[in-house]
Every structure is written in C-alpha cells, then in structure tokens.
A = this chain, B = another copy of it.
Amino acid sequence: MAKKNKEGLTIKKEENFSEWYQQLILKSELADYSPVSGSIVFRPRSYQIWEKIQKTIDSEFKKIGVQNCYFPLFIPESLLSKEQTHVKGFAPEVAWVTQTGNTELKEKLAVRPTSEAIMYDSYSKWIRSWKDLPLKLNQWNNVVRWEFKHAVPFLRTREFLWNEGHHAYSNAKDLEKDKKAILKIYSNFLKNYMALPGLIGEKTSKEKFAGAEKTYTIELILPNGKAIQGPDFHDDGQNFAKAYNIKFKDENGKEQYAYQATYAITTRMLGIMFAIHSDDKGLVIPPKLAENKIVIVPIFAKDNKKKIIGQAKKLEKELQHFNPILDVREGYSPGWKFSEWELKGIPIRIEIGPKDIVKKQAIIVKRNDGKKQIAKISNLKKIIPKILDEIQNQLRTNAEKLSKSKITKADNLSELQKAIKNKKIALIPLCKKIGCENEIKDATGGAKTLNIPLKQTSIDNKKCIWCKKQADYHVYVGKSY
C-alpha cells in the first residue's frame, strides 16, 4: 500500500481541485513541467489524444473546403502593428526575437501569438478577384503568449498547440454560413468525442477578440465552478482587410474589401476534458479518444503462469482492434497493476485468472464506475464495443449533469451575488452598456460575462440587472479561468 500511495493520487478532487489536477496530470504521465517557465512537455499519453482531435476535426474542416498550410513562426514588428486593436491585445504577451547568433536584428520579430498579421500580408498579394474567393486556409501549429498569470498544465501555458483557421470571403453571407458550420464542428466534437457539454454564444463587445467585429465561443464549466473558454470563432468583418489591404474586384469590376473570419481549438481542451471526467483514482477519458481502449491483466501464480499468459496473448490478438495493453510484467501484484491502469485511464480492464480459464470467461471492469461483469471469452469481441459506448454515454451524461448543477438564473443583483458566492454561473438579463458590465464585475468580486447564448428566451420587459433599464440580452456571468 505504501507503493500505491506514492504512485497514485493522494489528494481528493472534492477537497482541493487544483492540487488534485496537478497530481493527475503529472502522475498519469500526461504532461511534465519543463525548464521553460510556463511551458509544458506534452508526453505521449496526452499528445496521442491531441493527434486524434486533429485528425477528426481536420477531416470535418476539409468537408467544407478548408485547406491546410504553414506560415512562418516569426512576424516582423511592423507587420504585427498594422491592425491597432489587434496589436494592443497581444503586445504585452509577445515573445520577441531580437538576436540571431551574435547579431542584433534591425527589426525585432514576434514569435507568433496568432497569425493574422503574417497570413493577411500574403492574402493581400494572392487575392485579386472574386474568383480567388473564398480562401479557406488553416494551420495546425504552436503559438506563444507570454502570460504572467500562474501557468497550469494544458489550461494555461505560455506555449500551446491549436488550429488557426483564417478565411477570406467576397461577402458576409458566405462567412455566416461557415460560422454555423464551424461552430457545429466544434460543438459536435466536444459532445460526441470529448463527452463535454458547452455553452455556445456570442461574446459581449467588451470581451470579444482583439480586432474582431463579433466573437463566438463555446464556454465550459470546470468542477470548481469556474468557467473556461473553449473553441472560438471570430467574425472580423472587413477590419483586417482594411488594415492589411485585402481587396478584390467583384463580378462588376468594383473593388471591395474582403470579409474575414478566424477560428481555433487549442490544447487547453485536453485539460478541460481531463479535469471534468477524471476522479480520485486518476485519469478518466472518453473511449473514443483513448489510444488503448483495453488493458488485459492476467492473474497467475508460478505453476499456471505459462498457460494463463498463453490465453491472455490469444485474447490480445483477438481484441487487437481495441489496441489492448497486455500487462504481463512480473514483480507487480495484480492490485498494483489495476491501480496503475486506473491512474492512466484505460477505459476497460479485462482480468483473466485460473478459474476464468476453466470457465472460458473473463472479468470486465469499467474504469469510469468500477462496475464488474463476467463475460464468455467468445462474446468479448461483440460485447466490448457496447461497453465502450456505454462508458462514452455515461461520461457525457455525468458531464451534462455537472454543468447543469453549476448553472442558475439571476434576475437581480443580490441573486447574482449569491450565485457567484456559491461558485455558480448565472444567466442574467443585461443591457449593452459597457458601464453596466463593468459594474457587475466589481459588485461580484470579478465575475465576467462569458457569452450571450445563441438560443435566447424572450428579453421583452426584462430589466438590466444593473441599470434597471430595458435589457438587451440574457448573458452568462461567472468567475472564469
């Protein structure tokens, strides 16, 4: 047991979420700290999930005509500065290359915090006519934002991985169509693969992306009640086109500025998923994103070792579709092995011992709820996909319950204050004035607007929670990550 305590989690999720999360990430070997403050090492156990995310989402992007490309990592300062709101939003967090070898550069280079500047410079060269549009390019790459807040693996790191899609259109209608398609790709992925519910909505003017006309986000709620922003989509209107001179001749030969949109999903989603599904035994992940869906643990003594391992190997081969791990290591007890694979989040454990062999059966244990069942070995291939589906659905249902339990409504300030104090997210009626948004932030000790749900219930006769005048929308408010 001493060994188990050392290797397993020693803090409970309920007791101290943030300590528990740090232990989870390190002990499940998902990530490690690095000598670069604020940057992490993505170890294979997390990176392989990121690869699955990339692959699945990328194939959806391609269906709507998105093409991948790669732009330079560095952006000259003068280029970054062309769109003023944009550069103000990012400049405080930019890592600057000022020197190469022993030579000082004449102009310093930003390590990309995002690629609008460098991409749109090319767009302005490539786009001449309406025939060149839409241009739908995307990159899967790394970006650096030197935040000074405390770094947390996956959730807030100074370097992270993401997709950055950057589209240009000849009209706002085509953009609107893709906005819907892309938000759907992201939210379906969250729901159907990550087993996570999200709140889809539009950011208020105050909270929108630096340079955008409108920002749409999917917000999630962590077990500690804090909201965290997931994937986003920015409708930039013609802002960047004007700053970077992206013009085209329309079908009538008239020169116009292009309409633009950008969107992203980042490795932060990994952390959100780990945090929401995992438990005091360690990692829990949705089967659809698990690299190894099964671990087979043969239970043997010296005298029957050969026979049982033989059976287990046969099973490994039969179940190879599920990419099983076969744990035949010696010098570790079955219990120790169970704990290790629970810590590392393998969705299904199959135990096979001397009695099972005689009865041609195996014991199946679900990682998410520990429930056991006995099944005939000949049935395993048929039964396992069903159990995996069951786990996937249970995780989603639980995550939805958790999310619902953290959301409430508030129609006046004291209700809102109470909700925030109780670590909830509140849906409140609010007017558009930035003043009111600022005041409620102060009055709640820092709760911010998250987003304005795309699906709104009627706002008629609803009063702004602060100024008591007619409200413009219902908006989610909460402490955020």
Contact = CB atoms under 8 A, between A and B. Distances in A.
Interface residues of A, number: 52
**Most B-side CB within 10 Å, residue of A67, A101, A118:** A101
Contact of A36 (B74, B92, B141, B161): B74
3 closest A-B pairs by beta carbon, nearest first, are A44-B67, A39-B72, A42-B70
Contacts of A126: 32
Specify how many copies of this chain sit in the oligomer.
Answer: 2
A90 to B, nearest CB: 10
A40 interface: yes
Contact of A125 (B32, B91, B122): B32
13 contacts: A34-B71, A34-B72, A35-B76, A36-B109, A40-B72, A41-B70, A42-B69, A42-B70, A44-B68, A44-B137, A96-B97, A96-B98, A111-B111
A51 interface: yes
Nearest to A157: B72
A70 B140 CA distance: 13
A414 B111 CA distance: 51
A99 interface: yes
Nearest to A137: B44
Given A95-B97, A109-B36, A146-B100, A73 B41 contact: no
Given A68-B48, A69-B44, A111-B111, A99 B101 contact: no
Interface string A69-98: 111111110010000000000011111111
A417 interface: no
Nearest to A74: B36
Contacts of A50: 70
B41 A122 contact: yes
Interface in A362-407: none
B101 A92 contact: yes
A359 B102 CA distance: 71
Interface string A122-160: 100110000000000100011010100000000000010
